[in-house]
Structure formats: C-alpha cells, structure tokens
C-alpha cells in the first residue's frame, strides 16, 4: 500500500504550509472503537470553538470596562491550546486505539487529566485569566447585562466541555483496564522501543477481521477487544 499523504489539518492548496498528520478514522481505527474516537475528535472541535468564542467574550468584557489583559490571554490560549490539544491528547488516543499502544494510552491519560484540570479552571473563570467562566461572568452581569450575556455562552460551553472531558476520561480508562492494560505494559513498550514501531509488537488478542476495517502494513494485523458492557 502506498504511503498516505497527510490530510489534517485541511489547508488550502495554495498555501505552502502542508498538513502535518494523516487521519482516517474509518480506515485506521477498528470498527468497534470508531464511534468513540469520532466523539473524542468532536470534543476537540467543540473545545476549539469554545476557545474562539472565549476571545469574543473577552472582547465584550473589555468593552464593559474589564482589563485588556483578558483579551490578550484569550488569544494566547486559543493559539496554544487549540493545536496543542490536538497534538498532545487527541493524537495519542488515536494512535492508542489504532495500534493498541499502552504507551500512547498512558500519554493520553496523563495529558488529558491535565487538560481536564485546565478546563475546570477555565469553567470557574478566575479574574484576569483570560477566560469567561462562572465567577467573572456573574460579576459582569451585575453591571453590564449585554456583556454578561455574550460571556454566558462561552461559560456554558466551557462547562459542557469539562463534563464531556470527565466522561471521556472515565470511558477510555474503563476500556483500557478492561483489556488488561497497565503501567507495566507501557514501561515494557518504552524499554524495548516497540512504542515507536507497532508492527514489532506481538501478543495481541485477536478480534473479528471484519470488524477491523482495512489493515495497514505499519500496524498490527489484529488489535485487542476492549470490553465495556456499560453504555456511553
């Protein structure tokens, strides 16, 4: 199979900057886990949209007499957390399900937990942190209802994102532990270097080949079945 060209993020062809990642959930992710990976990807998109709306909310805060520092920090959070959240926690979980990589599962758990902590802080909305959360939105409502209303939308989205992140963390952890994954397994991958080359690993639990979708040569021919009888 020829090497796939990177397709994410989708950029106009006239730009000299090219996509950095190849992403194809329907081909690379086993069928039984595609829905979960798509939901995590949608969660990343919602978070990115929330960061964009947070900039607008901080502009409203600035217009209502707040500090311009909030607007500057909001831009910084958008520039940093938008791309970084994709690269630092979505890509690890994508690669973890794609190739049964315990190392990538552990990377996801560690980074995504930190992301959840950040989301909680953003949801709270501390003063001069560049976010429209509950504390600062309620304060603005006392003297400017219009600005508070604009900020409220971002606050509600931050709340939604925080709840969804907590649910995703719990769901993925249950699946991973149900498959027999552990820190020891991740250390073994790190020690022998197989986390870099998924095809070199063995000992996977086989599943129905029809449920896996097309297999790629750089990934294992079979992946474990993560069992979770509880609903989403």
> What element of type H or E holds 12?
none
Euclidean distance between CA atoms 161 and 158, whole angstroms: 5
Give the mean model confidence (pLDDT) for residues 68-95. 94
pTM exceeds 0.85:
no
pLDDT at 208: 36
Radius of gyration of the chain measured on its C-alpha atoms: 20
Q: Give me the sign of the Cα torsion angle 55, 57, 58, 62.
A: positive
Are 228 and 171 spatial neighbours (Cβ–Cβ below 8 Å)? yes
Residue 113 tokens read as 């937990």
Phi-psi region of 74 (alpha: psi -120 to 50; beta: other; left: phi over 0): alpha
pLDDT at 122: 94
Name the residue with higher pLDDT: 211 or 121. 121
**165-216 pLDDT per residue, tens:** 999 999 999 988 876 655 565 555 545 555 455 544 433 333 333 333 433 4
Are 61 and 74 spatial neighbours (Cβ–Cβ below 8 Å)? no
5-9, 122-126, 227-231: which is most confident: 122-126
pLDDT at 11: 83
Neighbours of 95 (CB within 10 A): 20
């Amino acid at each position: 199979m020829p090497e796939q060209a990177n397709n994410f993020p989708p950029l106009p062809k006239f730009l000299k900057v090219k996509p950095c990642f190849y992403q194809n959930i329907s081909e690379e992710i086993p069928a039984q886990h595609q829905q979960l990976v798509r939901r995590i990807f949608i969660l990343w998109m919602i978070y990115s949209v929330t960061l964009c709306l947070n900039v607008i909310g901080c502009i409203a805060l600035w217009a209502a007499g707040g500090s311009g520092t909030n607007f500057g920090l909001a831009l910084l959070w958008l520039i940093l957390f938008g791309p970084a959240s994709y690269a630092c926690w979505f890509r690890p979980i994508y690669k973890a399900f794609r190739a049964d990589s315990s190392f990538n599962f552990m990377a996801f758990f560690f980074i995504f937990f930190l992301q959840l902590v950040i989301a909680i802080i953003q949801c709270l909305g501390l003063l001069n942190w560049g976010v429209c959360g509950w504390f600062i939105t309620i304060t603005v409502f006392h003297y400017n209802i219009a600005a508070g209303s604009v900020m409220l939308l971002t606050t509600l989205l931050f709340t939604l994102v925080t709840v969804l992140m907590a649910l995703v963390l719990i769901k993925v952890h249950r699946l991973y532990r149900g498959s027999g994954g552990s820190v020891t397994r991740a250390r073994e991958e790190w020690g022998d270097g197989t986390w870099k080359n998924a095809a070199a690993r063995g000992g996977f639990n086989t599943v129905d080949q029809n449920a896996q979708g097309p297999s790629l040569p750089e990934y294992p021919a079979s992946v474990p079945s993560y069992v979770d009888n509880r609903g989403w």
